[in-house]
Amino acid sequence: PAPRTLLITGAAGGLGTLMRELLPRYGYELRLFDVVPVEGAPDAVIGDLADPAAVRAAVRGSDAILHLAGISLEAPFGQILRANIEGTYNLYEAARQEGVGRVVFASSNHAVGFTPWPGKGEPLIPVSAPRRPDTFYGLSKCFGEDLAQLYWDRHGLESVSVRIGACFPEPNTVRMLSVWMSPGDGARLFHAALTAQNVGHTTVYGSSANTRLAWDLSSARALGYEPQDDSEKFAARLIAEQGELDPRDPAQACLGGQFCADPPLWHS
């Protein structure tokens, strides 16, 4: 049966705030979790992903989970380890123990961030392309995807790992013309990922149907996702302001953009 009670972790964040607004129209009853208070939601459960008991209490009684919580940019390894690696493990353990049927995991394009942009006439990047994390952050998303696979193979807990491009109201860089996911398409994709039958563990790219798409959306479409938006309406202005991507610039040559060129953050 379609999930009714949906737990959104990371509900106070940018994507959580967008999805809290958009997902109820699909019929979900939302429960919210974050380490900081969630504006306008006094019933939200406040707790840290690194605390297994807090996570288990938040998960109890949910039919499905949209797991958005965690550090969403590069950070020192110790911080990524605690929030994204141990935190996602705690989330999956709680889901298993509480009998939750489905987790939709917010993975990221940064799991494959060092993949070069396909040239003209080259095939789109498939979900089966080798992972090439561009940061410890991207590496934590590779871990989350593998954890999702393990919990399917070993425990029959279903997941969809969504390698989100960039979900903001509007794209603001030329790179984002390729990876942008409109908030409306984000809600459509998460809803498809929550309700499609027999997903086992499925990995998909998460974006709108952009004219400048670099990756293959077919595994997302196979879930029933029908994107409605295309970033192309923003292209002329952004290209006039910023110019086309320069493949000789390490911050522009690969999917992960600037993440590929920033200096590493070693210390916790």
Which active-site residues does the annotation give?
137
Q: What is the nearest approach in angstroms of ligand 15L to the Cβ of residue 227?
A: 17
Chain residues 6-65 in contact with ligand NAI, contact rule CB under 6 A: 10, 12-16, 34-36, 48-50
Query: Which range binds ligand 15L by CB under 6 A, 48-56, 107-115, 116-124, 225-233?
Result: 107-115
* Cα torsion through 252, 247, 172, 177, rounded to 10: -120
Residue 12, contacted partner among ligand NAI, ligand 15L, none, CB below 5-8 A by kind: ligand NAI
- Tell me which residue of 108, 141, 128 sits closest to 207, measured CA to CA: 108
Chain residues 150-209 in contact with ligand 15L, contact rule CB under 6 A: 166
Assess 139 for contact with ligand NAI (CB under 6 A). Answer: no
Work out which of 70, 113, 183, 257 binds ligand NAI, going by CB under 6 A: 70
- 171: three-class secondary structure by DSSP: coil
E-strand ranges in the chain read 5-9, 29-34, 45-46, 64-67, 102-108, 158-164, 201-206
Strand partners, 67: 9, 105
Work out which of 95, 127, 167, 214 binds ligand NAI, going by CB under 6 A: 167
Cβ 242 vs Cβ 173: under 8 Å: yes
Burial class (CB in 10 A: 0-12, 13-18, 19+), 48: middle
Pairwise CA distance, residues 177 & 131, whole Å: 22
Assess 110 for contact with ligand 15L (CB under 6 A). Answer: yes
Burial class (CB in 10 A: 0-12, 13-18, 19+), 257: buried
Chain residues 52-81 in contact with ligand 15L, contact rule CB under 6 A: 72-73
Q: What is the nearest approach in angstroms of ligand 15L to the Cβ of residue 134?
A: 9
Q: What is the nearest approach in angstroms of ligand NAI to the Cβ of residue 169?
A: 11
Q: Contact positions toward ligand NAI, by CB under 6 A?
A: 10, 12-16, 34-36, 48-50, 68-72, 83, 87, 106, 108, 164, 166-167
Q: Contact positions toward ligand 15L, by CB under 6 A?
A: 72-73, 108-110, 166
